[in-house]
Amino acid sequence: MRIKTLTVSVLVAASFAHAQSADEFFEKKIRPVLVTKCQGCHNAKLKTAGLDLSTAAGFAAGGPSGSLLGGAESRLLKVISYEFELKMPPMGKLPAEDLQNLAAWVKVGAPWPGAPKDLPVPVMAESKPREWSAEQKSFWAFQPVKAIAPPQVRNAAWVQSPVDRFILEKLEAKAMQPAAPASREALIRRATFDLTGLPPTADEVRSFLSDDSAGAFATVVDRLLASPRYGERWGRHWLDVARYADSTGNDEDHRYPYAWRYRDYVIDAFNSDLPFNQFVREQLAGDLLPSSDGGVNRRGIIATGFLSLGPKALAQQDKQKMLYDVYDEQVDVTSRAFLGVTLACARCHDHKFDPLSTKDYYAMTGVFASTKSFANSKSSGVSPMLLTPLCDDSEYRTSQTYKRWLAAKQRSINEVYDRRIDERNSELGKRLADWMVAARQVYVDGKPVERVAAREKLDVRVLRRWVDYLEAGAAGRPHLEAWANANTKTARAVAVDYQTKYLEKLAAYDKKIAEWRDRATKTEAAMKSAPGKPSVEAEEEPFFTDVTFGGPFAVADARKRENDVVNVDKDKERQRKLEEKMRREREMTVPREELLTDADRDRLRTLRAELDEMRKGAPPEPEMADAVAEGAQVEQHVFVRGDYNSPGEVAPKSVPSILTKAGSPQFGQGSGRLELAEWTARADNPLTARVFVNRVWEWHFVDGLVRTPDNFGRMGERPTHPELLDWLAAEFVQHGWSVKQLHRTIMLSSAYQMSSAVTEQASQKDPENRLLSHFTRRRLEVEEIRDGLLAADGTIDYEMGGSLQKGFGTDGENSEGRLSLNPEKLSRRTVYIPLRRANLPTLLNLFDFGDATTVNGKRVITTVAPQALFAMNSEFVVERARNLAARALENGGLDDGGRLDSIYLRTLSRPATAVEKDTALTYINHYRQKFAGKSESEAWQSFCRALLGSNEFIYVD
Amino acid sequence: MSRRAALRAAGCGFGFLSLASMLAEDVQAAVDNPLAPRAPHFQPRAKRVIFLFMHGGPSSVDTFDPKERLERDHGKPLPFKRPLAFSGGPAGALMKSPWKFKASGQSGIPVSDLFPHVRECVDDMCIIRSVVGEGVDHGAALLQTFTGSSTFTRPSMGSWVLYGLGTENQNLPGFITIKPTLSHGGAKNWSSAFLPGAYQGTAIGNAGMKAEDIQGEPIEYLLNKRLSNDEQRFELDMLQNMNHRHAEMRKYDPQLEARIRTFELAFSMQAEAPAVFQVEKESEATQKLYGLDDPVTQDFGWQCLLARRLAENNVRFIQCTHSYKWDQHGELFKKHTENAAEVDKPIAGLLKDLKARGLLKDTLVVWSGEFGRTPVSQGSDGRDHNPYGYTIWMAGGGVKPGFIYGATDDIGYHAVEDRMHLHDVHATILALLGLQHDRLTYRYSGRDFRLTDVAGVVHEKMLV
């Protein structure tokens, strides 16, 4: 950079001198560039990046990062050079001539014609809060929830719940009729899938069908709400919103080893009917809330997984970008999940449609910028994620102390070997030239390696390693060029040269290691972790590192080698090559064990015994969570155009100004998460309760009252029943934010219990069923399909909680370990199957699961041929059908009709009709007649497969 | 039924509405099938794309962008502050290419000795030497190469194309990715993200698998291993019988009819699709052309030959992946030599074969890594990541043949002429397919999204 700029300056100083005057040079060469390429954004009005390049004063003032001048180090020249992180102008590098002129101009002090000598430096003033228009302020979603009395209706007999009045009023206004009540079979299947994600059992169906009491359905609803299966279903709904997954997704897809604790927390929150406002508080700031027993708030810490489990790019090398992408993701999930506003759209510019400014965006970003999401976000490479212990500090410190002791003991063990290895390197190094010359005799002169070794009194294994190392030549290894160019006459001299240099490096290395040993012993004595063993930069000392580590002088840990997995290749030729390679390696291996003396061996025995003893006495590993924690306070600036290289005015922590009618939080000393949580959970927050009751409505009815559940803004839809939405929100808050109570209010209505039959009138007048003249039929979601199949043949495993994902970090590129576990090989409920975000299970993709990356309040349902292939050909379905048929056939107490009833009850939640029985048995008979050799069981299996593939199985009326 | 209701019923969501160019009959087609072919915005030059992805990042200055100055100034320090690279260590010195370049063909375009076979095809290739991306690490760079965003989950290029154009062969998926990588974003690089799931790429195996293990069942659930065709048809008739009776009792619900049709489509798909994957049916000469007879070139040869068969069968978007090989922070000479040997002949075979069959004129072939590599050394024998100016090439499908477009600076670090950001690459690929990148939008979360975000310029100068 410097060199280039200087040359350029010299070149154009001449042209500058030749110009008639500095003024003319400016007007002809500089101003046109500034006007056409810079001032579009950097003018007095926009001041993009806090920079005004339209006047001499503005230019002299520079930007928030300081002056633009400074000779060859000028920020202006850096930025326009395109060799700096920030590149301007953004539409393309300036032509070489312009660059030269600007450099020449800066070099002489950037004179502006007629500018006064001493320019005052203006101070950036904080801009006034944005004024929103009356229309924006009066937008429906930002108004307080209104207290509304359910309306009067003509057909009062239809009303079972106040909910029905709101629905019926709109239908009556359009002269439409609500559908008849659903059949009891349809209703229990609907409610059971709805609340638990599973079909009802045969007993549950029979018991409901025979219960004539007025409260029969209420009994069913209460039973389902009390089932642990309820939390697994509704927790999963929330996990869609929380974009839950068990790994980071981006770049290397590192596991979140404790994500499952958050998932279990969510399931438990629904099962225990945790008030929703508390659910909100815990997910944003649970770590800052007191625990119920005064100890560590485990639950609260785990709950903040909501913020910590998003997609992250741990290997992103621009660490500042990595951090701000995470904060952005946290702003996005928080604003959409709880508030239904798309605040993240205001990262680079004010929101195009809603009254949300970039300042609003950065005001919330400040909260997350002051929150810790990484254990360390500074060092290059892969940034380690934050893991939080779920125990108190002293317990954690004790366990860490033990860890250090164990590490120190392990180091002592390693040292026994390493000292001998170091000694050996010195010994071998003294004859390095002999080794090289001897190797040359083998690979150049073609002499047998054993004979050369014997004659020169060299270890044949080491000599083989030398041959292996030198034989490959210098291609791509410039440090071996001198050796490769040597001939028989010069070889000895060149080798001696290599030896001298090697011994120099070795001495330096030994010194470094000795210093490290000293330091490590001291730090361990002081109960601290020893520093890592110093490494040699392979790029600086390629020959030394090659020879010493991994190359000719390397030794092997025999115990490790024994554990090497022997691969067997199907291809004979490849297998032969593999074995040949392994044989060669054995011939070259020097086990490190043979360097030990008897005293060493004794010492190792003692040390290993001590290590074992210590391990036995160590406290259990503390339980951990993937959570966030309080971080250092960050004074957040607005980033102009979303670019952290262009900080603008300060954006003090705040919530979006359009939502502050009922008050805005006073942010104190911490990150601000607690204040944000309290404000979000307030009863008078216009959005929190509305957005959540709308979600619940949608999960019951397929469509929400607002059909864009994650976006209540201008580009979202308007509510079909705004009064009902407000009434439900108010009821919800009044009943202590109880989600289970909300389910009862909704499900014990006539609206919920309507048939899904569509009349011609309804299909004409209201094809989208916005007025809810009937229940909307829906396809099962993938969890319901898979769990329903496993329930049908009775192989489902209802064990709750815990993790099926093992291990930490990530796996090798393209290894199987990068895949999610295959749900078709497991029998736990789908909600418990870990989600590797980068490679979600294909079954989940096939049935519209979504991508677990952003808030997904509504799954888009598609109907495509590969789904039919799953029903027709997957082993998973074949196995379910086999079990289903076997169960029916093995039941000796049943006749064929009874068998069919049991199969229908298990799959379609109803007995078979007479016609269906007739059809089925005819099919089974024909199947056996048509396909000779097929057993009775195979015929029944075929029928069961057809049933499992049927629309009736996969749709809920 | 209203248009909106029709779309909803087809399960495509209301985002479909924002495809402004959609004609009335297309809307009707989409009701039946989200993958039905749709008219492009304007006359297309290419009908389909084969994207050859060199995972890891091949070095441009060692392949298609020779730099005399590196020869001259070998060992001298980088003349400016090194931009952000992947490794934090000190910047190495300028390093000349260990390979020789030779001019070839009528066009005389130089290609290094790494690609002697591809070199024979330069007169059909358009070498773009000025591509610019934003990701310095693989994850970000792959994501941006395939989705336009280096950070967020966005629909992949193939998904956008399928969403925009549908596909002409309903018996095969419209977007197929052969042996895709599981790392660096994995499936995100071929996912439909928030576009309906029908537009996601169908993976044929993955990069960790061997071709012979994939051939048994190239597409999940495609084959029934237990039943004869007759047996399955008989069973399917029972199933459809139930479905029809079910639907008769539930009128005015097109989603039920739609699902009934998917079973017939699936049945014809499993009858027709497997034959397309039978690469072994090709003549010996053709197999040799792709290097299937040599263990070194076998795997990528299989990918390329399969890609041609898929192209022939009108699959809209096809990706082949050579993963994860090209990341030479060290051992550049050894590993780049090995890598190029694995793909050189197969790629040349593909280009020649497509041309001989008249497919090259409307098939766009793209060859690309996720970035290039630095002209300075890393260690003694490596190069670090360089997204600031690197080479990709295209062939067929309306790009100028035998043409060099754009340039990097004299050491090959930054693109300086006709800089082509990845957004521009995407805009240009869409334009070749007859799609105007700023009209191909999808409404999600209150915003109209597109492949090119808020950027993208079609580089007309490199088009025929």
Strands B125-132 and B390-395: antiparallel
B248 to chain A, closest Cα gap in Å: 11
| Distance, CA of A187 to CA of A211 (rounded, Å) | 13
A36: DSSP letter:
I
A944 to chain B, closest Cα gap in Å: 10
A123 to chain B, closest Cα gap in Å: 32
CB contact under 8 A, A757 and B251: yes
A29: DSSP letter:
I
Predicted pLDDT at A114: 66
Average pLDDT by consecutive 10-residue portion of chain B (464 residues)? Answer: 35 32 40 83 97 98 97 92 79 92 97 98 98 93 95 91 95 94 90 87 90 88 92 96 95 89 92 93 97 95 97 97 93 94 98 98 98 92 94 98 96 95 98 97 86 94 96
Residue A613 contacts by C-beta under 8 Å, 6 or more apart in sequence? none
Partners of A781 on chain B (C-beta within 8 Å) are none
Of B13, B86, B181, Cβ closest to residue A814: B181
| Distance, CA of A244 to CA of A310 (rounded, Å) | 7
CB contact under 8 A, B5 and A768: yes
**Which residues of A, range 570-609, sit inside 8 Å of B by Cβ?**
574
| Distance, CA of A949 to CA of A868 (rounded, Å) | 8
Locate A341 and state its tokens: 């506003």
B35 touches chain A (CB under 8 A): yes
CB contact under 8 A, A865 and B81: no
Partners of A942 on chain B (C-beta within 8 Å) are 231, 234-235, 238
| Distance, CA of A494 to CA of A432 (rounded, Å) | 11
B243 touches chain A (CB under 8 A): yes
A786 touches chain B (CB under 8 A): no
A710-720: per-residue pLDDT in tens?
999 998 999 99
**Which residues of A, range 316-355, sit inside 8 Å of B by Cβ?**
316-318, 321, 325, 336, 342, 345, 352-354
Partners of A868 on chain B (C-beta within 8 Å) are 259, 262-263, 265-267
Partners of A644 on chain B (C-beta within 8 Å) are none
Assess contact for A636 and A126: CB atoms under 8 A: no
A614 to chain B, closest Cα gap in Å: 38
Assess contact for A683 and A689: CB atoms under 8 A: yes
Peptide bond into B199 cis (omega under 30): no
Assess contact for A714 and A352: CB atoms under 8 A: no
Nearest CA in chain A to B242: A950
Partners of A836 on chain B (C-beta within 8 Å) are 186
CB burial of residue B168 (10 Å; 0-12, 13-18, 19+): middle
CB contact under 8 A, B238 and A951: no
**Which residues of B, range 362-391, sit inside 8 Å of A by Cβ?**
377-382
Peptide bond into A113 cis (omega under 30): no
Locate B132 and state its tokens: 């610019």
> For chain A, which residues score pLDDT lower than 50?
1-19, 117-126, 562-565
ipTM: 0.80
B246: DSSP letter:
H
A363-411: per-residue pLDDT in tens?
999 999 999 999 999 888 899 999 999 999 899 999 988 888 898 889 8
Considering Cα of A933, then A939, then A941, then A946, what sign does the dihedral take? positive
B198 touches chain A (CB under 8 A): yes
Predicted pLDDT at B13: 30
A94 to chain B, closest Cα gap in Å: 10
Report helix, strand or coil for A626: strand
Assess contact for A402 and A619: CB atoms under 8 A: yes
Bridge partners of residue B175, in order along the sequence: B317
CB contact under 8 A, A854 and B188: no
Q: Is A875 left (phi over 0), alpha (psi -120 to 50) or beta?
A: alpha
Per-residue CA distances from A717 to A340, A721, A929 (Å): 12, 12, 57
Long-range contacts of A327-334 (CB under 8 A, 24+ apart): A327/A365, A327/A368, A327/A369, A328/A365, A330/A368, A330/A371, A330/A373, A331/A361, A331/A364, A331/A365, A331/A368, A332/A854, A332/A855, A333/A242, A333/A243, A333/A306, A333/A307, A333/A854, A333/A855, A334/A284, A334/A307, A334/A364, A334/A676, A334/A680
B320 to chain A, closest Cα gap in Å: 15
Of B81, B186, B269, Cβ closest to residue A818: B186
Partners of A82 on chain B (C-beta within 8 Å) are 414
Report helix, strand or coil for A466: helix
Q: Is A224 left (phi over 0), alpha (psi -120 to 50) or beta?
A: alpha
Partners of B203 on chain A (C-beta within 8 Å) are 842
Question: Vertex B20, ends B16 and B25: CA angle to 5°?
Answer: 75
Q: Where are the alpha helices (DSSP H) in A68-153?
A: 75-81, 96-107, 134-137
pTM of the model: 0.81
Report helix, strand or coil for B366: strand
B363 to chain A, closest Cα gap in Å: 26
| Distance, CA of A473 to CA of A142 (rounded, Å) | 74
Considering Cα of B94, then B95, then B100, then B104, what sign does the dihedral take? negative
Question: Minimal CA–CA distance to A190: which of A709, A701, A697?
Answer: A701
Q: Where are the alpha helices (DSSP H) in A431-554?
A: 432-443, 449-456, 460-471, 481-485, 491-525, 542-548
Nearest CA in chain B to A252: B184
| Distance, CA of A840 to CA of A832 (rounded, Å) | 13
A756 touches chain B (CB under 8 A): yes
Considering Cα of A288, then A290, then A296, then A300, what sign does the dihedral take? negative
B107 touches chain A (CB under 8 A): no
AA letter at A953: F
Bridge partners of residue A247, in order along the sequence: A255
Predicted pLDDT at A68: 81
Report helix, strand or coil for A112: coil
Strands B175-178 and B202-204: parallel
Predicted pLDDT at A567: 53
Residue that the structure tokens 């069908």 belong to = A209
CB contact under 8 A, B220 and A864: no
Question: Minimal CA–CA distance to A818: which of B57, B135, B152, B206?
Answer: B206
